[in-house]
Structure 1
Amino acid sequence: MITLCINQTSTDPYFNLAAEEYFLKNFEEDFFMLWRSRPSVVVGKHQNALAEINHEFVRTHQIPVARRLSGGGTVFHDPGNVNFTFIRNVKDISEVNFKVFTVPVIEALKKLGIEAYTTGRNDLLIDGKKISGNAEHVHRNRVLHHGTLLFDSHLEALKGALKVDLSKYEDKAVQSNRSEVTNIADYLPNPISVEEFTDFLFGKISKNYTEFQVYEPTLEDIEAIQKLSIEKYQTWDWIFGYSPRYCFTNSMNTANGAISVSLLVEKGYLAEASFSGAISAEISQKIAEVLAGCRHDYEAVKAALLGLEDEFQQNGLSFDELMNGMF
C-alpha cells in the first residue's frame, strides 16, 4: 500500500482540519502529513467549547477557536507547534493502538537526542512534562491518528488561552486534563529551527514506509478542502453549536450586591436564563426574554442586551459586569 506524504504549507487551522477529513474520506491510500497553524485553540469533537477556553484572553488576542474531528482534549496551536497526522487502512480496528503511531515519532526524536516517552495515556513526555497530545477518529476501515509536538510554542499564550474555571459548567462533555508542558527545543543538544525540525521529521518518518510518495494536493483537492472548511469547520454551529447540553452558573459582585446567573444552553443556544440576588424581578425577566434563543456567544449576547442598557443604568447595574458574568 502506497503512503502519501504531505508536508502541508497552509497555516489556516480550519483548512488543515478540513484537509484531514478530506483525505480520510475521499482516498484509499494511507497518509502521513505534517502541518502547522497560526495561533488557535482546537477543541475535541465531544467537548463543550465554551468551557475549554479563556474567553477574555481569546477575544482580546483574537485567537480563533476550532473543533476537530477526533475526541480528546483541547490543544493550543501556533507556528512553534508541529502537528502530525497518520491515516491508515486496517482490517480490524482492534489492531490499532496509539503506540503504532507514536513510536515512529519517538524514534525520530531520539535521532535528535531527545528522550521522549509515553506513560500509557494519549501523550508524549520529556522529563515528566508533556510535549504531545494525541487523538483518533475512525471512519469505516480507516483510522485517523493525529498529535501535537510542542517544539518552540508560546507556552504563556497556551496557558492563557486554556486557563478556565470549569466549576461554572455542568455537562457530560469530555474535559481536558491539564498537564505541565514544555518545548522540545529546550532539550535539543544542537539547536535547530522549527522549519528544520519539520523537514527532519518529514524525511525520517516518510522513509519508514517501503512505498511512500510525496504528494502535492491538486487544485481539485484544495478547492474541495476549502469548501469543507467554509461549510463545516469555520461555522459557529460546528465550533460551538456542536457542544453538548450544559448548565452555566456564576456569581458576580456588583455595586448593588451579589447577582447569581443561571443559563441552560442547548446546541449552543440559550434555552433558559435566570438572574437572582441584587437585581429586580422585572429586569431579570426582561433579560431572560431578550436572551431566549440567543447564541451563548459574547457578541450575540451583547447585541441582544444593548436595548436594555438604559434600564441597567437606571437600576445601578453595570452592563459590562452583567456581560462578563455570563461567560
Structure 2
Amino acid sequence: MISQIQTRIIKSLSHDPWVNLAIEEHLLERITEDEVLLYLWQNNNTVVIGRNQNAWKECRHLDLEREGGKLARRLSGGGAVFHDLGNLNFTFLMNKKHYDLSKQLTVILQAVKKFGIKAEFSGRNDLVIEEKKFSGNAYFFNKDSALHHGTILINSDLTKLSRYLQVSREKIISKGIDSVQSRVINLTEVCKSVTLAAVIKGMEESFMDVYGGDAQEIAVARNDFNIEPLVQKYSSWEWRFGNTPKFDISISRRFGWGEVELGFCLKNGHIDSVQVFSDAMEEGLIRDIGKGLEGCSFQKDRMIERLIKVDRRSENQVIIIKDVVLWLSETEL
C-alpha cells in the first residue's frame, strides 16, 4: 500500500536570516517519511552565502553590516544572494524518496505563470525570464532528508544587490555580462501588478495543485520551536566566516560547474590543512575534496591519487573530480 503524502505550508513571521535558517534546519531534521513541506520566508537586508564560499571574497560584508544588514551562511552550496523584503524565499523539504526537482520547479513556474509570465529553468540553478534570473536555487541532502530552496525576486532593491555582492570579474566575463544587476530581473519589471501577497498565494495554490494533501498552513515565530542552539550556530562568527588562515599556496580556477579555490597550509612538505572555497552546487563533494587532501604530501601525483579516491555519487560529481584532477595536473606547484 502506497502511503499518502502529507503536505504542510509553513510561513515564518521573522525577517532575521539567522532565525529563518535555524527554522529551516529544524524542519529538515524533523521531516517525516511521507511529508512534503513548503516553507516560505523573508530576510531583511541580508546577504546569504553558500556553504563553501569565502565570506571575505563574496560580499562587501562591512558595508552591509554598517548599513544594518546581516551576513548569513546556508547549508547548501551555490553562490551568494541578496535578500530584502522585495524578495520571497521558498524551501521544499521532504524525505529523499520524494525529492523530484522537476516537480518542485513546476510549483514555482506554475505560480509565476498565473501572472502571464513565461519562465524557464536555465543552467545549473536559475529560473529565468528572457535569460534574466529572477530565482536562484540550491539544494542540500543529509542521510534521509532533502531540501531545495531559493529566491523569487519580486520588487527587490537591485542597486543594493549590486552594491553588496562582490562577484568575481572572471565569473561575470564567463557569462558575457557587465554586472550582477544586468543579469537579474524583478517580476514587477515584467508584470507591474505583481505583489508579494499575490506571489505567496500563487505559490500556495500551485503547491497544493502539484502535491495535493490538505496543505495545512502554519505561521511560525522564533519561540514556536526549540531552535536557540541553531540560531546561535547561524549567527556565530565560526559558521559565517570560519577560520581562514594565511595560506602558503593558493590556486583558483573557474569551471562550467562553478569556481573553486584551494588554499594550502604546508608543514614539512605535507598538506597540514586545506580549505576549499567554491560556489559549486555539490557542497558535500567540495568538503570531501578538502578532507581527501589533508595530510597528503604536497606532490601533484600524490594529490591526484587522493582525489581519484574521493567518493562520487553522481555524473556531475564525476565531472567535478575529473576537472579538478586535470587542473592540478596542468598547474605548476
**Residue aligning to 1:228:** 230
1:37 equivalent to 2:43? Answer yes
The alpha carbon displacement at 1:180 in A equals 0.9
Structure 1 pair 115/160, CA: closer, same or farther in 2 (3 Å)? same
Aligned partner letter, 2:113: K
1:83-122 superposed Cα distances (whole Å, 9 cap, x missing partner): 110012133xxx8453332122111111111111112420
The alpha carbon displacement at 1:217 in A equals 6.0
Aligned partner letter, 2:22: A
Which residue, out of 7, 11, 18, partners 2:15?
A: 11
Aligned partner letter, 2:214: F
**Residue aligning to 1:51:** 57
Q: Answer with 237-246 or 73-82: which moved more.
A: 237-246
Q: SS of the counterpart of 2:138?
A: strand
Q: 1 CA distance for matches of 2:183 and 2:169?
A: 18
Structure 1 pair 55/100, CA: closer, same or farther in 2 (3 Å)? same
Q: 2 CA distance for matches of 1:130 and 1:155?
A: 12
**Residue aligning to 1:115:** 118
1:205 equivalent to 2:207? Answer yes
Q: SS of the counterpart of 2:113?
A: helix
Judge conservation of contact 1:134–1:145 (CA < 8 Å) in 2.
yes
Query: Once superposed, what is the RMSD of the aligned Cα atoms?
Result: 3.0
Q: SS of the counterpart of 1:65?
A: strand
Structure 1 pair 17/247, CA: closer, same or farther in 2 (3 Å)? farther
The alpha carbon displacement at 1:80 in A equals 0.4
Which residue, out of 209, 213, 216, partners 1:214?
A: 216
The alpha carbon displacement at 1:27 in A equals 2.8
Q: 1 CA distance for matches of 2:215 and 2:106?
A: 21
**Percent of aligned pairs sharing the same letter:** 35
1:195-235 superposed Cα distances (whole Å, 9 cap, x missing partner): 232233223323432213324367897341244112x0010
The alpha carbon displacement at 1:158 in A equals 0.3
Q: What are the equivalent positions in structure 2 for 1:101-250 lying under 5 Å apart?
A: 101-163=104-166, 180-188=183-191, 191-216=193-218, 222-230=224-232, 232-241=233-242
The alpha carbon displacement at 1:37 in A equals 1.1
Structure 1 pair 205/30, CA: closer, same or farther in 2 (3 Å)? closer
Task: Please list every run of 5 or more consecutive structure 1 residues that lacks an aligned counterpart in the other structure.
Answer: 168-176, 250-263, 272-327
Judge conservation of contact 1:36–1:78 (CA < 8 Å) in 2.
yes
Q: 1 CA distance for matches of 2:144 and 2:29?
A: 10
Q: Answer with 72-81 or 56-65: which moved more.
A: 56-65
Structure 1 pair 185/228, CA: closer, same or farther in 2 (3 Å)? same
User: For the pair shown, which has the larger CA radius of gyration, 1 or 2?
Assistant: 1
Q: 2 CA distance for matches of 1:243 and 1:198?
A: 39
Which residue, out of 4, 9, 31, partners 1:27?
A: 31
Structure 1 pair 145/165, CA: closer, same or farther in 2 (3 Å)? closer
* TM-score, normalised via structure 1 length: 0.65
Q: 2 CA distance for matches of 1:12 and 1:223?
A: 15
Aligned residues: 239
Task: Please list every run of 5 or more consecutive structure 2 residues that lacks an aligned counterpart in the other structure.
Answer: 171-178, 251-262, 266-272, 274-333
Judge conservation of contact 2:57–2:166 (CA < 8 Å) in 1.
no
Q: 2 CA distance for matches of 1:14 and 1:220?
A: 10
Q: SS of the counterpart of 1:47?
A: coil
**Residue aligning to 1:66:** 72
Judge conservation of contact 1:131–1:150 (CA < 8 Å) in 2.
yes
Q: Answer with 3-12 or 192-201: which moved more.
A: 192-201
Q: 1 CA distance for matches of 2:8 and 2:31?
A: 10
Aligned partner letter, 2:77: G
Q: SS of the counterpart of 2:227?
A: helix
Q: SS of the counterpart of 2:184?
A: coil
Structure 1 pair 115/247, CA: closer, same or farther in 2 (3 Å)? farther
Q: 2 CA distance for matches of 1:56 and 1:219?
A: 28
Structure 1 pair 212/140, CA: closer, same or farther in 2 (3 Å)? farther
Judge conservation of contact 1:5–1:206 (CA < 8 Å) in 2.
no
Judge conservation of contact 1:79–1:153 (CA < 8 Å) in 2.
yes
* TM-score, normalised via structure 2 length: 0.64
Q: 1 CA distance for matches of 2:240 and 2:222?
A: 26
Structure 1 pair 193/210, CA: closer, same or farther in 2 (3 Å)? closer
Structure 1 pair 71/215, CA: closer, same or farther in 2 (3 Å)? same
Q: SS of the counterpart of 2:218?
A: coil
Judge conservation of contact 1:46–1:244 (CA < 8 Å) in 2.
no
Structure 1 pair 49/265, CA: closer, same or farther in 2 (3 Å)? farther
Q: SS of the counterpart of 1:158?
A: helix
Q: Answer with 206-215 or 146-155: which moved more.
A: 206-215
Judge conservation of contact 1:83–1:149 (CA < 8 Å) in 2.
yes
Q: 2 CA distance for matches of 1:118 and 1:35?
A: 22
